């Protein structure tokens, strides 16, 4: 995701013990301010629907959310991911064509064939990841 360094957002912690999580995060407040561009910390006790547009991550036993609305332009992000998806599709098609060519598979060194098989698997994984990201952004902008 392309988040401008000047944009600051909120960090939301999902925790049952608000005092404990605030104490833990107080030690990291300066780093969160500088590197995470966090301008405020909220603590919630249950997941809510408005977190659907937030990035979620875990640190130890704690779950955190970074709301993305206002931090990124979803239309630009969708366009960027679409271009990336198209590029991956092209590379995937080229690699599949190469591996489906019997002469290539027979004549190429085993290492080259194995390398192309690994590339194919990576492209398939990347295509799936991008597809899911595009679906998620589409839902957020609907």
Q: What is the pLDDT of residues 39-54, one digit of tens each?
A: 788 888 887 777 877 8
Is the domain of 63 the same as that of 30?
yes
pLDDT band at 2 (very low <50, low <70, confident <90, very high): low
Does the residue 1 lie in any domain? no
CA distance 64 to 51: 10
pLDDT in tens, 64-99: 888 888 788 888 999 999 999 999 999 999 999 999
**pLDDT > 70: what percent of the chain?**
95
Is the domain of 60 the same as that of 14?
yes
pTM: 0.68
Domain ranges, residue 56: 9-67
pLDDT score recorded for residue 70: 78
Q: What phi and psi, each to the nearest 5 degrees, are found at residue 2? A: -100, 100
Q: State yes or no: pLDDT of 120 exceeds 90.
A: yes
Is the domain of 81 the same as that of 49?
no
Angle at 33 between CA 28 and CA 34, to 5 degrees: 105
CA distance 93 to 89: 6
How many helices and strands in the chain, by DSSP H and E? Answer: 5, 4
């Amino acid at each position: 995701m392309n988040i401008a360094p000047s944009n600051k957002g909120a960090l939301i912690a999902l925790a049952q013990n608000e005092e404990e999580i605030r104490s833990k995060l107080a030690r990291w407040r300066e780093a969160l301010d500088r590197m995470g561009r966090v301008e405020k910390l909220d603590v919630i006790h249950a997941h809510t629907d408005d977190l659907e547009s937030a990035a979620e991550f875990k640190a130890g036993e704690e779950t955190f959310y970074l709301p993305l609305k206002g931090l990124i332009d979803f239309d630009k992000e969708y366009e960027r991911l679409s271009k990336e998806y198209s590029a991956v599709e092209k590379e995937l098609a080229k690699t599949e064509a190469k591996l489906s060519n019997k002469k290539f598979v027979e004549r190429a060194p085993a290492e080259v064939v194995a390398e192309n098989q690994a590339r194919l698997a990576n492209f398939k994984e990347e295509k799936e990841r991008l597809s899911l990201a595009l679906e998620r952004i589409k839902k957020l902008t609907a």
